[in-house]
Structure 1
Amino acid sequence: MSTGKPIPRFTVITLGVSDMRASIAFYEALGFARKFGETGEAVAFFDTGGTVIALFPWDQLARDATLPDQPRSKTFRGTTLAWNCNSVEEVDTVLDFAISCGASLLKSAHKTDYGGYSGYFGDPDNHPWEVVVAPGIEVCDDRRVHLPD
């Protein structure tokens, strides 16, 4: 048994969803590649280029985490997902595209106080996604975000 510190890694974001079929269709429409499809509608995994988005029935995920699944808040839950872009035009394109796939517009794109440009959409369960271009943050061809040291 190793006595050294474990190497930190962030691998999967699991979203509790109320309708697996609708959420799977939404994330496929956004263009995320579904992997390990033999899981059917029990759980769904999508490649994001560095981490994985997993979809799992809301009540089962709450039970697994030993948390109550009711009441289901329609308010902010303290977490957002982000889709970083390389230009203002790309932010607008992504927001329009997400809306065309069934997302709800939570906040129109606008200039930010830190010199970026950002807007928000909600997925079918209203998990908020920020679509953003931020100074100093680059998205490379490998779809990974590269941060300055």
Structure 2
Amino acid sequence: MSRELPAPVPRLTVITLGVSDIRASIAFYTALGFARRLKATGEAVAFFDTGGPVLALFPWDQLAADANLADKPRPSTFRGMTLAWNCRTREEVDAVLEFAVGEGAGLLKAAHETDYGGYSGYFTDPDGHPWEVVVAPGIEVGDDRRVHLAE
């Protein structure tokens, strides 16, 4: 006879990106202003405070092996996910995109009006992970750097 267990509390705590050159990726994310934590891990893995879930960087091949997935071929097209940097204003979107590109990001799509009343653009990190920089209706960014969603 099985006992019913309560459902666990869902939470997203860490987003781990597979990277080709961890040293270069650490430098890139540090240059974007994310604070590195647990530096004692050296270049084995890197953790960054994002104001929400932790961003982790881990060597691409090791992350694939850990997840029991093939390392190759590495996708050079859309990977089915994006990361987001929500902003308070359109001017902040423009400033973040300009700053990221100045720090070595690739510009995927210039900032533009969206069909849902927002304003967004895209950049990529050194491994091609896409980031949307966006201000969107119903999503506010608080002083705590966290997004607050309308009901």
TM range (shorter): over 0.9
TM-aligned CA deviation for residue 68 of structure 1:
0.3
Instruction: Summarize the alignment of residues 47-62 of structure 1 with structure 2, pairs less than 5 Å apart.
Output: 47-62=49-64
Counterparts of 1:2 and 1:29, CA distance in 2: 48
The counterpart of 2:104, out of the listed 92, 102, 105, is 102
| Residue number in structure 2 paired with 1:91 | 93
The counterpart of 1:26, out of the listed 25, 28, 36, is 28
The structure 1 segments of at least 4 consecutive aligned residues displaced by more than 3 Å after TM superposition are none
Percent identical among aligned pairs is 74
For the residue of structure 1 that corresponds to 2:62, the secondary structure is: helix
Unpaired segments of 5 or more residues in structure 2? none
Cα deviation code 1:14-35 (max 9, x no counterpart): 0000000000000000000000
With the length of structure 2 as denominator, give the TM-score of the two structures.
0.97
For the residue of structure 1 that corresponds to 2:132, the secondary structure is: strand
With the length of structure 1 as denominator, give the TM-score of the two structures.
0.98
CA RMSD of aligned residues (A): 1.1
Cα deviation code 1:55-87 (max 9, x no counterpart): 000000000000001011110000100000011
Unpaired segments of 5 or more residues in structure 1? none
Counterparts of 1:26 and 1:4, CA distance in 2: 42
Counterparts of 1:3 and 1:117, CA distance in 2: 44
Equivalent pairs counted in the alignment come to 149
